[in-house]
Structure 1
């Protein structure tokens, strides 16, 4: 179930829309971070200094987890954590949240109180969900206008190619197509983590048994038509809790991609920048 908050526009704050995901401690095992990211289907988790009055000292991203090889099972969180870029105060309003996330090219920000204590995580989807409920007219534009540069994977590509492509483009997911470009699935970092792949498997191009994209992809793909509005894309994102939708033609062939960052930039252009 997706919870959508209804609060007067301009009054919603991070504390109203954040999610209280658990946080990690620096000495937690990296395997525990993997378990939590897989369980909560989240891109990032906060790392705090202590269970008491936890103050933020870092964060763990999905890509940090996927970079661990199976031979390094003794790693701790402080071995792989990064410094957080987007720190959101719990009393920051929605325009400040959106601006901070877009400015830092992040989908999620760590929320703290004025003392720097951890309060939760807020993401682009939380901002999108809010506007979806309160100002849906924002999304009444042609979906094709937002479509970004088209990148995709073939179903018979090796999983190692998918991994390198994620790193090259800094994308968390791609559509998966047949050779005729008909969309048959999607592959995301979450799919790789949920299926237990490690860095060695993702990077191996010499393994006796090749792992193909179609073995790891998620089906069915979430698609809209070229004639649809952005509203249709947001409907799918909100109701199915997905980060991207694919634009297809009448033959089911890939024509474009819209993700949460595209929707967030549309909101920024229409409601905040203006």
Structure 2
């Protein structure tokens, strides 16, 4: 199966000459983690990520997108899906533009969600999610400040952090999208530059509940199905309401490539 079968056509994009403040508004309005960047000839030059736009703190700035463009692998509509998955994982991107060929005209975009919906674990993939879960993870409490969590997300490039009780019982998840959607991103940015974090809103104000969990003996397919069903970036692994680990889309995608030769 090729990328053409699963890519989204007519994606939003920004130009190299656009101001970063404009790009930030586009991404926040549409809750995008990444947006293709094109030059004046509509050739794809790369992608702009939410981590890049969050570096711009001022509401007015003459900084353009061009200086923040990240390179992307060349993926065309004819690229095999599994090859595209490997290229995305190696580049550490969750969304990648699809180009027409050597002229690099933008024709679509593909995400790790699109690929997960189209692939299956192989015979050599791990049987249980406990084999691929990340156990060295950052968690937060409902009474933590959004400022603290926001800066942890930026420092570690996390899109979401599990929320647990002080006895490590699962409660929910707080994501960049939750904070941005609630309008607290700007508050967190300002507080990070000097205001007292104790004055910032608490995580409990924006977190998503309940936390979607699976037991450690759940299969990869169960995890993929749940991530697709709820449109989430990660699934928590828990036993008796105690958090054990996290399985991300990237981890699941990597596991589905085992034994494919890619």
Aligned 1:32-181 pairs, distance under 5 A: 32-50=22-40, 54-69=42-57, 71-75=58-62, 77-78=64-65, 81-114=68-101, 115-132=103-120, 141-148=127-134, 149-181=136-168
Is the Cα–Cα contact under 8 Å of residues 159 and 202 in structure 1 kept in the other structure? Answer: no
1:194 to 181, 188, 193: 181
- Per the normalisation by structure 1, the TM-score is 0.83
* Aligned CA-pair RMSD: 2.5
Q: Counterpart in 2 of 1:209? A: 199
Provide the C-alpha distance between the structure 1 equivalents of 2:191 and 2:111, rounded to a whole number of angstroms: 27
Provide the C-alpha distance between the structure 2 equivalents of 1:48 and 1:79, rounded to a whole number of angstroms: 9
Provide the C-alpha distance between the structure 1 equivalents of 2:169 and 2:191, rounded to a whole number of angstroms: 25
Question: Matched residue of 1:87: which SS?
Answer: coil
Q: Measure how far apart 1:99 and its partner are.
A: 1.4
Q: Measure how far apart 1:221 and its partner are.
A: 1.9
Q: Counterpart in 2 of 1:230? A: 220
1:260 to 224, 249, 252: 249
Q: Counterpart in 2 of 1:4? A: none
**Aligned: 1:248 with 2:238:** yes
Is the Cα–Cα contact under 8 Å of residues 81 and 115 in structure 2 kept in the other structure? Answer: yes
Any stretches of 5+ residues in structure 1 without a counterpart?
Answer: 1-11
Is the Cα–Cα contact under 8 Å of residues 86 and 104 in structure 1 kept in the other structure? Answer: yes
Provide the C-alpha distance between the structure 1 equivalents of 2:69 and 2:206, rounded to a whole number of angstroms: 27
Provide the C-alpha distance between the structure 1 equivalents of 2:192 and 2:175, rounded to a whole number of angstroms: 16
Is the Cα–Cα contact under 8 Å of residues 140 and 231 in structure 1 kept in the other structure? Answer: no
Is the Cα–Cα contact under 8 Å of residues 33 and 50 in structure 2 kept in the other structure? Answer: yes
Work out the number of aligned pairs and report it: 256
Any stretches of 5+ residues in structure 2 without a counterpart?
Answer: none
Change (3 A) 1:272 1:123: farther
- Per the normalisation by structure 2, the TM-score is 0.86
